[in-house]
């Protein structure tokens, strides 16, 4: 996740300006804990820990849920953020810092893919139900696929069309794509690595390795009908294709630049998410929409020109 150093994110920076809250984050990075457990480890009152938890929750750093315990319902805490990149000056990380740069935004629901080729394990789920049957690729052609909020497949690809509104003598100078994504293991496996390739107009721009298929903790937005023991959420990642190369969350992954991609004026841009069967870590793909997982968003695209 990218976080701009600005006043709009002040709550997050204030939340991190505390030794106690940093220690709480360190503990939660290893395991989920309830209020009482953290209070005991930090030798503090539960009331004080509750205040710290509220501040971290308001900042979007952690989430809480009530679970049954030995002494009734307990408030369990878990990290919402897995990682974040601070953006001080955006041109080096994928977005132009020029104030007069033109750009437009597009939101693409994960179910609105334009092409696919997938193999089991695979499936689709909307906000309210499974779409078709699990592990049957034929249902990726079901018209209801446009309603999907969660898509998964062990190998293959899905492809999306990004509208190109740039015309005249202007040319596209950058693409920024934000999405919630993870690996795909049978059931789930937090340590299930997957080498995921991203292509733009058939040009492979980078390979990113997802560290796992996350199902231990329920997604904040995952609907209640979705069974435990399945994938629950992914990681929020930001892919940037720029004049200086391709980045993931501000980290340089390849030298493929926006100039290396053939984009014709007014013709759509094809964005593909691919899990090759012959990858070193052939671990599949899981995608999440605004009503599934941890982040209330579709695939968000910013086109700069």
For the ranges 5-14, 51-60, 117-126, 229-238, which has the lowest average pLDDT?
5-14
Over residues 141-152, the mean pLDDT reads 98
**Which pLDDT score is estimated for 1?**
61
Residues 47 and 126 reside in one and the same domain: no
**Which pLDDT score is estimated for 304?**
94
Residues 201 and 69 reside in one and the same domain: no
Residues 238 and 172 reside in one and the same domain: yes
**Which pLDDT score is estimated for 97?**
46
Residues 95 and 45 reside in one and the same domain: no
pLDDT at 228 over 90: yes
**Does 11 or 192 have the greater pLDDT score?**
192
**Which pLDDT score is estimated for 82?**
73
Residues 95 and 165 reside in one and the same domain: yes
Domain carrying residue 219:
90-304
pLDDT at 101 over 70: no
Question: pLDDT tens for residues 165-198?
Answer: 998 778 999 999 999 999 999 999 999 999 999 9
Answer yes or no: pTM beyond 0.85. no
Residues 206 and 141 reside in one and the same domain: yes
Q: Is residue 85 part of a domain?
A: no
CA–CA gap between residue 205 and residue 248 (Å, rounded): 11
**Which pLDDT score is estimated for 281?**
97
**Which pLDDT score is estimated for 68?**
76
Domain count, the chain: 2
Tokens of 282: 């052939």
CATH of the domain at 129: 2.60.120.260
Residues 144 and 25 reside in one and the same domain: no
Over residues 72-86, the mean pLDDT reads 80
**Which pLDDT score is estimated for 92?**
47
């Amino acid at each position: 996740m990218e976080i701009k150093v600005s006043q709009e994110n002040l709550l997050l920076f204030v939340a991190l300006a505390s030794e106690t809250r940093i220690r709480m984050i360190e503990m939660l990075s290893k395991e989920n804990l309830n209020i009482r457990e953290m209070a005991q480890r930090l030798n503090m009152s539960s009331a004080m820990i509750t205040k710290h938890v509220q501040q971290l929750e308001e900042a979007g750093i952690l989430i809480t849920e009530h679970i049954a315990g030995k002494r009734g319902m307990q408030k369990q805490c878990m990290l919402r953020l897995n990682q974040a990149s601070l953006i001080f000056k955006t041109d080096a990380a994928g977005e132009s810092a020029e104030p007069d740069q033109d750009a437009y935004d597009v939101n693409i629901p994960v179910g609105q893919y334009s092409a696919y080729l997938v193999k089991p394990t695979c499936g689709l789920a909307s906000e309210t139900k499974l779409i078709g049957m699990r592990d049957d690729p034929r249902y990726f052609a079901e018209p209801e696929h446009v309603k999907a909020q969660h898509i998964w497949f062990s190998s293959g690809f899905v492809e999306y069309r990004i509208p190109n509104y740039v015309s005249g003598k202007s040319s596209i100078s950058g693409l920024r794509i934000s999405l919630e994504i993870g690996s795909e293991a049978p059931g789930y496996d937090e340590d299930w690595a997957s080498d995921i390739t991203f292509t733009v107009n058939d040009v492979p721009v980078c390979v990113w390795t997802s560290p796992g298929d996350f199902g231990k903790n329920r997604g904040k937005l995952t609907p209640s009908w979705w069974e435990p023991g399945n994938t629950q959420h992914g990681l929020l990642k930001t892919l940037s294709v720029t004049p200086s190369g391709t980045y993931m969350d501000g980290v340089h992954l390849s030298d493929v630049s926006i100039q290396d991609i053939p984009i014709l004026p007014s013709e759509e841009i094809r964005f593909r998410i691919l899990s090759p069967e012959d990858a070193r870590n052939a671990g599949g793909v899981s995608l999440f929409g605004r009503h599934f997982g941890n982040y209330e968003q579709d695939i968000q695209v910013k086109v700069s020109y």
